[in-house]
Amino acid sequence: MLLPLRETGPARAAALTAEQARRLAAAGIVDVRPGATPGTWMVRADRAVGAARVGDVELRIETKVPVARLLFLLGYARNPLMWRDETIGMPEHSGLVPAIAAALWRQVGQALRGGLLYGYREVDETAPVLRGRLRETDQLGKRFGAPLPLEINHDEYTVDIPENRILATALDRLVHVPGLDPPTRAMLRHQSHRFVDVARLHHGQRPPDWQPGRLNSRYHVALRLAELVLSGTSLEAGLGTVASNGFLVDMPRVFEDFLSVALRRSITARHGGVVSLQAAGHLDVAHRIGLRPDLLWRRGGQDTAVVDAKYKAHIPASDAYHMLAYCTVYGLRRGHLVYVTGDHPPTRHLVVKAGTEIICHALDLALPAPLLLARIDQIADEIAGTAGTP
């Protein structure tokens, strides 16, 4: 059963069995409520966008942000210097999953033009001849003084290295995500077959670390895309307790990550100081009530500005309360909320008696990448121009 939805759009009536509705609700991807008639359920997408299959129900959740822009937001937080639309070569697709799948197999194809990357891997094994060095403790503990076989450690020159494991696993996972056309699946499988001697990562296994350098430079773009795929297809992507197969991204988290990285870059480059992300603090003296603003700027040894990202079209009262708490703890006269452009223009709220000012900035995510980053610079200048302590 196919169920198309739109991010934060109106709830859609769907004829579901009680078991289908239960599984959807347990997955935590969409909001599911009983409809007006028996057998009818109202399904609404909230935070996540992409595609997923839960049981025999296939969800396709369309993003409000243009697909190319969403992928820019996703990638910029990981590598601001490298990630650009023209670098990725983003194909024209209306859906998030088809676009990222097409981009992945093309970038993997470019990365493998010179063949699979080889590297050295440290191996512990039992062998009849000495190669590398003898693991003396293991030899004595396992062989009790017997001369053979030998417990050895050596470096092996192989294609089974972290970079290839990441690419191969991303290709394999994306093949099974719903919403792809047959030619795209065929290209993903074709690229995957080129990694025949490479081990795949297990679900829940953290991707191995890799270091960008000259030797793996042709892999860089493909690896960044593959990391996005692995994060969006992992079972730890906040999908509740029911396993689902799909590629999903959490839009509030995407916005928060992008804004934090881009704004930190802009503030430090243009105005100096040190910007901390998710800095831990406490509201009370006993340290029982925690605080964690998205961005805290310190300059000259003093707290200078505090910023929170809100993936909303307007600011509810609770967000203002949180910002007032931040300003109180950090001794600031002004706090800053950055939200997605909606029906409400940027505004300022002056708190009664406290004298604290809460400044709301708006960011239009549909802007082309250069204009979007220019708006970030403008917000950084606005924060620097109004920041201060009593």
C-alpha to C-alpha distance for 126 and 139, rounded to whole angstroms: 9
The residue among 275 and 343 whose pLDDT is bigger is 275
C-alpha to C-alpha distance for 6 and 96, rounded to whole angstroms: 12
What pLDDT, in 10s, does the model give residues 48-98? 898 988 888 999 999 888 888 888 888 887 766 555 544 455 555 568 888
Confidence band, pLDDT 50/70/90 cuts, at residue 390? very low
Q: Which residues touch 26 (CB under 8 Å, ≥6 apart)?
A: 240, 241, 242
What pLDDT, in 10s, does the model give residues 124-137? 878 787 777 788 77
Q: Domain ranges in the chain?
A: 2-114+162-252, 119-158, 272-386
Q: What is the pLDDT of residue 105?
A: 92
Confidence band, pLDDT 50/70/90 cuts, at residue 386? low
Q: What is the pLDDT of residue 89?
A: 53
C-alpha to C-alpha distance for 112 and 301, rounded to whole angstroms: 49
The residue among 244 and 303 whose pLDDT is bigger is 303
* Residue in the block written with tokens 């079972």: 235
Q: What is the pLDDT of residue 236?
A: 41
- CATH annotation of 272-386: 3.40.1350
Instruction: Quote the tokens at residue 2.
Output: 């196919």
Q: What is the pLDDT of residue 237?
A: 40
Whether the model clears a pTM of 0.85, i.e. scores above it, the answer is no
Q: Which residues touch 376 (CB under 8 Å, ≥6 apart)?
A: 259, 262, 263, 266, 363
Q: What is the pLDDT of residue 368?
A: 87
Query: Percent of the chain at pLDDT above 90?
Result: 48
Is the pLDDT confidence value at 380 over 90?
yes
What pLDDT, in 10s, does the model give residues 198-239? 999 988 788 999 988 999 999 998 998 899 899 888 744 444
What pLDDT, in 10s, does the model give residues 128-175? 877 777 887 777 777 776 778 888 787 778 899 999 999 999 999 999
Q: What is the pLDDT of residue 322?
A: 92
Rounded to 10 degrees, the C-alpha dihedral 370/103/215/189 comes to: 170
| Helix%, strand%, coil% for the chain, nearest 5 | 40, 25, 35
The angle formed by the CA atoms of residues 30, 36 and 42, to the nearest 5 degrees, is 10
Mean pLDDT for all residues in the chain: 86
Find the farthest-apart pair of alpha carbons in the chain and give their distance in angstroms, rounded.
84
Q: What is the pLDDT of residue 70?
A: 86
